[in-house]
Amino acid sequence: MSEAIITEQLRREFRVDKEGKRREAFVALDGVDLEVNRGEIFGLLGPNGAGKTTLIKILSTLLTPTSGRAVVGGFDVTSDPYSVRRIINMVSGGEHSGYGILTVRENLWLFSQLYGIPNRVALERIDRLMDIVGLSDRARTKVHKLSTGQRQKMNFIRGFISDPEILFLDEPTLGLDVETSRVIRKYIREWVDGRPDRTVLLTTHYMAEADQLCDRLAIVNQGRILACDTPSALKRRVGQDSVLEIDVSAQAGRLQDLSGLSAKRGVRRVAISSDGQGALTHKLSVIVDGDGAIPGVLEFLAQCGAIVTGFKKTEPTLEDVFLELVGRRLTGENGSQVAHKG
């Protein structure tokens, strides 16, 4: 099976107390269809209360769906949870798990034993992972003396100890400093790439993290998946155009040549600014309708004798995608309504 995770019309309702003690149904997941391929890092992006953690809880067998089906690693989470548990692990950001009175190493060893890992192998993995995240010097520190970030590092290590096929990471870099987050993201990528059957389902609020790490993303809101694609494709949905900010140096007499850039294929608009007549440096803002136009632009500049001293490309971000999708009600073939954001 090439899919690590499949959900079909997954629905989860909770009964919540309302005023006057009536219990009403709150729909946390509303017919979620999802396919996560083996070997990919799949991201879930959504606002608070969108249903991301509920979905992870179902997939990790902590919650049963109200209706629908979820299959993890080829095993149904409802009818065969034991088989699912053998191949998964989970790390949640901000969790306080562990035993404060035990050391970091002891806690990690404990959790390794829940997966039947031989002692020698477990301790080797623990030491290696502590080295990677920079926790080796705290190995013998009691957990209740750790800082929030150090505790999160320990939680992170715990998720990898069992070397699962499928790993659920629920905001794994929450509370971590920039450098450690970078190390962890790098490790996640290397870990997934290290074996073809390893898969990660990641939830995060950090757009840059999702953009950098995820092979594919799903935008979730109010229990529904609004969009699912690669980060680039999602960004292209919001707007195809990219803006190139190019710094060039050219002789004053060649300015006209530069303005001919607007006639090039794929170039929508060109704006040239300089510091005055006879200036040697110019700033070009070139709006192109896709990456395919970039080589043509650079070739033209070279033919004009302009020397490119600076180049920057800006394009729609995931944040734009997120706001664009989450800020609108949906109409499509499924009969829900669309309205553009004002």
Partner 1 sequence: MKTDLKWHIRVNVKAAIARAYVRVVGTNREFSWIFFDTLLPLLGTAAYVYIYRAMDAPEEYVGFVLLGGAMTAYWMNVLWNMASNFYFERQGWNLELYFIAPISRMAILAGMAIGGMFMTTIRAGSLIVLGSLLFNVSFSVSSVPLVVLTFVLTLVALYGLGMLFSSLFLMYGREAWHTSNLLQEPVYLLTGFYFPVRALGFYIAIAASIIPLTLGMDAVRQLVFSHLHFGLLPVHVEIAGLGVLGVGLLYAAGVALERMERAAKKEGRLTLRWQ
Partner 2 sequence: MAVGSRQAVECWRTFRLAAWLGWQMESNWADPFLFSIYSIVKPVSHSLILVVMYLVVRGQAAGAGLFAQMFVGNAFFLYVGQILFGLTWVIIEDREFYQMFKYMYVSTPNMYWYLLGRSFAKMAIATVSVVIVLAFGKMFLRLPIHASTVDLTMVCLSMLFGMVSCVGMGIGLAGVMLIIARHGGHASEAVAGALFLLSGAVFPIDILPRFALYLAKALPTTYWLEGVRRGLLGSGMSQAMAAFSDRELMIVLAVLSLLSVILGTLTFITCEKTAKSRGLIDMHTHH
User: Site residues (CB under 8 A) for partner 1?
Assistant: 12, 14-15, 57, 60-64, 82, 85-86, 88-90, 92, 95-99, 101-102, 106, 109-111, 113-116, 142, 158
Q: Tell me which residues in 293-312 interact with partner 2 (CB under 8 A).
A: none
Q: Which residues pair with 15 in a beta bridge?
A: 25
23 binds, among partner 1, partner 2, none (CB under 5 to 8 A by kind): none
Asked whether position 99 contacts partner 2 by CB under 8 A, the answer is: yes
Q: Which of 117, 119, 177, 121 shows the shortest CA–CA distance to 153?
A: 177
Asked whether position 102 contacts partner 2 by CB under 8 A, the answer is: yes
C-beta separation of 146 from 138 below 8 A: yes
303 binds, among partner 2, partner 1, none (CB under 5 to 8 A by kind): none
Among 101, 121, 208, 339, binds partner 2 (CB under 8 A): 101
Stretch touching partner 2 by CB under 8 A, among 139-147, 186-194, 258-266, 297-305: 139-147
Q: Which residue has the tokens 């995770």?
A: 5
- State the DSSP code for 103: B
113 binds, among partner 2, partner 1, none (CB under 5 to 8 A by kind): partner 1
82 binds, among partner 2, partner 1, none (CB under 5 to 8 A by kind): partner 1
C-beta separation of 90 from 164 below 8 A: no
C-beta separation of 146 from 176 below 8 A: no
Residue 15 has phi, psi (to 5 degrees) of -95, 120
Q: Which of 302, 155, 314, 187 shows the shortest CA–CA distance to 242?
A: 314
d(CA 85, CA 80): 9
Shortest Cβ 242–partner 1 spacing (Å):
43
Enumerate binding residues for partner 2 (CB under 8 A). 96, 99-102, 143-145
